[in-house]
Amino acid sequence: MTYSSHHDCGRARSDKETPVADARFDMIEATVLQVARYYWQTFAVPSSQSWLRALQVAEEAACSRTPGTFGLDVLMAVQAMRHSRKSCFQFNDPACPTCASFLTEHERQFMHVLKCCRAGRHGTARTHAMLLCEGNCIDRFIARVEALVAQINHEDSDMVIQIRHPQVGLMKEHFSP
């Protein structure tokens, strides 16, 4: 795993990156990306212990009965992808406002899998997963993403996602299936 670590670095977008704003993530998807980035950072730089920040973001954001499950389900999806993928996964530093405003091509594929599973487009989700996992077995990865989606869509829970955006402040999105 490699990542850019430049706190408010002002760097320019690389050719293979896209602005996060262009992805049009809802707040749930934006939170999944943020939590996943902290987990990826933990694997790239273990001494950062950023898994603690991932759990904190998940706990603050998922105001449902089981916020810990939300963070764990993101971790399990990340881990399943890591086990299937053989080459380096590139992601951007979640703590740098400039870097965090761009999606790497690997992050984009990961998020496409999530978005497609949420939309019930399982064939397209599998295609994105196959690309991300470089043709290796994707069954466990897809199962973990679907478990995350099931947690988000749980019949008995209403989920309120809160995101503290640096320029806007606290934003909320109420999600009830």
Tens-place pLDDT, residues 134-167: 999 999 999 999 999 998 887 334 444 444 444 4
In a domain, 171, yes or no: no
- Whether 52 is in a domain gets the answer yes
Q: What is the CA radius of gyration of the chain?
A: 15
Question: Tell me, what's the pLDDT at 7?
Answer: 53
- The domain tally of the chain equals 1
Sign of the alpha-carbon torsion through 72, 73, 78, 80? positive
Q: Does residue 66 form part of some domain?
A: yes
Residue 171 to residue 115: CA distance in whole angstroms: 21
Q: What are the tens digits of pLDDT across the range 31-51?
A: 999 999 999 999 998 898 889
Q: Is 159 exposed, middle or buried (0-12, 13-18, 19+ CB in 10 A)?
A: buried
DSSP designation for 155: T
Q: Does residue 161 form part of some domain?
A: no
Q: Is residue 5 part of a domain?
A: no
* 64: containing domain: 24-153
Of 53-57, 65-69, 71-75, 124-128, highest mean pLDDT: 124-128
Residue 121 has pLDDT above 80, yes or no: yes
